[in-house]
Chain A
């Protein structure tokens, strides 16, 4: 049986989860399903992204749409779906501590025999559970379209990219949790998480594009997600491990920090 706070949290998150699930499903299905028109028309595929300046394309990791891997990377994995997943993760992460603290109900929960540590851990488990469900969507749908539309991407590579995507979501969800462990204000948590997500994204782009600043990309979680080119190269175990260590470290920080501070009214 699941711990009581995990059950309650999943129940609280249910409505919003269904919304994000439908949104992400629709987005992935529409884009992956549109592959047929590029597959049938190589000229269109080669020029589809010409309207976008080269610099922007490089920054976003978008190439032409001449192969299934290019197409999936450009439409789904490089920016839009990570963005959706990160937004969902930040919102659920902010609802873990800052939400009830803002709403002044946190003390009602903490008056129970649930330690601060357990509180953070159970919230993390529920958050990750929801993100796993949301992260399964791109994997299942892309796998489906990849097979049925002959996109030609090895199934393992789709799995590798999708796992990285999920872990990016977990990273930023845990970041929101870590920020809440310091400041229990939803607006602060969302703004900080959003700023760090945008900042680290830019860090990777700058690291990739600007000679001499290559070291910067190592500071960005996005590098460990797409830097190994999972759709073409498959699993990069070392990178995926880094993507798991980042949330693990932030979770540890969140526990220690939340144990120390006063809960506000």
Chain B
């Protein structure tokens, strides 16, 4: 099968400033691809290249088998949600959605109505009178309404409350079942993990890792901080399975745990524990830790 998105050496400089450098990427039909990275990593730059808003400095990209520059008709089969969603004018939600529907060769009014109901969006309001989250819903409705083969979503859940985030993830799952391809950017690993098949991570303009989500799930690096009633010694913890970066200062233990917490918890039980803080697995740490470990082991092998 030919890839839905295919990039080779894709590079974008904004004048002297790097936006994206040498990205090779391939997204297969029907795949949900999560595109993760910190602020300024190059996620939006990648997406804007896919849609021909900006032109690559070097490299090549094809979307749905077409060069974005010339493949205008292919955009009928793409749904796009901007990362910084803005609107202008005093338009009613319904009028704007009708424009998008007409521009894409028609969408049944029923379909727009259904999506609006699903997101509890009032079509008769003017867009400027909507809250940020409700504007985001307008963006999602227009991206999904023509049932595109490919959805390109830049931080789709920003501004949505948790309930609507779940509603959105349901839509992504439904899209996946329907065979649609999804390319979505995010800062949040957890969100991408729930919906994506594969995750790519960009950092400082480079795609540094691409992994299947299943292989990530089993592994979670956590920072753990434990406060004891009495001082402890580091030696009690350094040899435990999965535990590393052990630091002890008086009654406080800080360490990193990779995978199961079991060994650490059993060791802690020897002491009087006052407080235990376990921070969310850090995205880059998990991901990059995994990536570099794997690279090393394959180099050794």
Contacts and interface: CB of A to CB of B under 8 A. Distances in A.
A114 B84 CA distance: 21
B75 A107 contact: no
Contacts of B245: none
B82 A108 contact: yes
Contact of B88 (A5, A99, A111): A99
Contacts of B89: 12
Interface in B50-84: 51-55, 72-76, 78, 80, 82, 84
Interface in B88-129: 88-91, 95, 99-100, 102-105
Contacts of A114: 72, 103
Interface string B118-143: 00000000000000000000010010
Interface in B30-51: 44, 48, 51
B90 A15 contact: yes
A105 interface: yes
A113 B103 contact: yes
Interface string A98-113: 0110011111101111
B103 A4 contact: yes
Given A107-B48, A111-B51, A263-B53, A5 B103 contact: yes
Contact of B51 (A5, A7, A100, A110): A110
A110 B53 contact: yes
A61 B264 CA distance: 93
Contacts of A4: 99, 102-103
A104 B75 CA distance: 19
Given A4-B103, A262-B53, A263-B53, A113 B86 contact: no
B292 interface: no
Given A113-B72, A115-B72, A107 B87 contact: no
Contacts of B85: 108
Contacts of B142: 108
Contact of A265 (B48, B55, B102): B48
Given A12-B91, A105-B86, A265-B84, A113 B75 contact: yes
Residue among A4, A100, A104 with max Cβ neighbours from chain B (10 Å):
A4
Contacts of A107: 48, 51, 53, 80, 82
Q: How large is the interface on B (under 10, 10 to 19, 20 to 34, 35 or more residues)?
A: 20 to 34
Nearest to B139: A108
Contacts of B95: 8, 11
Residue among A15, A99, A110 with max Cβ neighbours from chain B (10 Å):
A110
Nearest to B51: A111
A111 B78 contact: yes
Nearest to B12: A262
Contacts of A111: 51, 75, 78, 80
A111 B90 CA distance: 21
Interface in A1-34: 4-5, 7-8, 11-12, 15
B196 to A, nearest CB: 22
Contacts of B102: 4, 7
A13 to B, nearest CB: 10
A8 B139 CA distance: 17
A111 B139 CA distance: 12
A262 B54 CA distance: 4
Contacts of A12: 88-89, 91
A84 B157 CA distance: 46
Nearest to A259: B69
Nearest to B89: A12
A240 to B, nearest CB: 35
A216 B80 CA distance: 50
Nearest to A11: B95
A263 B139 CA distance: 19
24 contacts: A4-B103, A5-B103, A7-B102, A8-B95, A12-B89, A103-B88, A104-B84, A104-B86, A105-B86, A105-B88, A106-B53, A107-B51, A108-B139, A111-B51, A111-B78, A112-B75, A112-B100, A113-B75, A113-B76, A115-B72, A263-B53, A265-B44, A265-B48, A265-B84
